[in-house]
Chain A
Amino acid sequence: MKICKVVKPLVSTNRIPEMEHKHLQVVLDGSSQAVAVDAVGAKPGDWVICVGSSAAREAAGSKGYPSDLTIVGIIDHWDDK
């Protein structure tokens, strides 16, 4: 699992129906940006834990949910050395 920083929400009105209405966040993994499904309700600036592969699908809702990166936790204290 990766530690990422939430940048901002990602708004996408025109998207595939399988994604339903889950919130999406732009997260920063080191220096590269990615999009993660937000299963916990993080806000910009939070340090979060993101999970990938098939666990990301289940964390986002169901086995068939098309996510390959999902936020599964908000870290209480984290300083980015």
Chain B
Amino acid sequence: MDIYQADKTLVCTSRVPGLKQTSLRILRNKMGNKVVATDPVGVREGNWVFTASGSAARFAAGDFEVLTDLTIAGIIDNWDESAG
């Protein structure tokens, strides 16, 4: 599972039915490149989170039919960025 920092939410009204009504969140990793993940936890901007990717992401989303390959699995209690 990878470690990211949560950025803003992503609003995407026209989407495939497979994405259902999942809330999407932009995540940024140490190198600064941004990815989109589904967010069953409900994180705030700036939280450090860990994610599940691949088919595990569909299980993590709580409903296997959600067509995601990256899901936020939890918020890390404390994380110092410099330890990277």
Binding partners A and B:
yes
B54 touches A16 (CB 8 A): no
Q: Which residues of A contact B54 (CB under 8 A)?
A: 52-53, 68
Q: Main SS of chain B's interface residues? A: mixed
C-alpha spacing A69/B54, complex, angstroms? 11
A15 touches B1 (CB 8 A): no
* Interface residues on chain B, size class: 20 to 34
Q: Which residues of B contact A35 (CB under 8 A)?
A: 1-3, 50
The residue in chain B whose Cβ has the minimal distance to the Cβ of A14 is B75
Q: Main SS of chain A's interface residues? A: mixed
Chain A nearest Cβ from B51, distance in angstroms: 9
Q: Which residues of A contact B77 (CB under 8 A)?
A: 11-13
CB < 8 Å: which of B56, B75, B76 contacts A66? B56
Chain A nearest Cβ from B58, distance in angstroms: 8
Of listed A7, A35, A67, residue having the most chain B CB within 10 A: A35
Chain A residues in the interface with B (C-beta under 8 A): 7, 10-16, 18-19, 24, 33-37, 52-54, 56-57, 64-69
Chain B residues in the interface with A (C-beta under 8 A): 1-3, 40-41, 50, 52-57, 59-60, 62, 64, 71-78, 83-84
Q: What are 14 A-B contacts with C-beta separation under 8 Å?
A: A11-B77, A12-B73, A15-B73, A16-B62, A16-B71, A19-B73, A19-B74, A34-B1, A34-B2, A34-B3, A52-B54, A53-B54, A67-B1, A67-B52
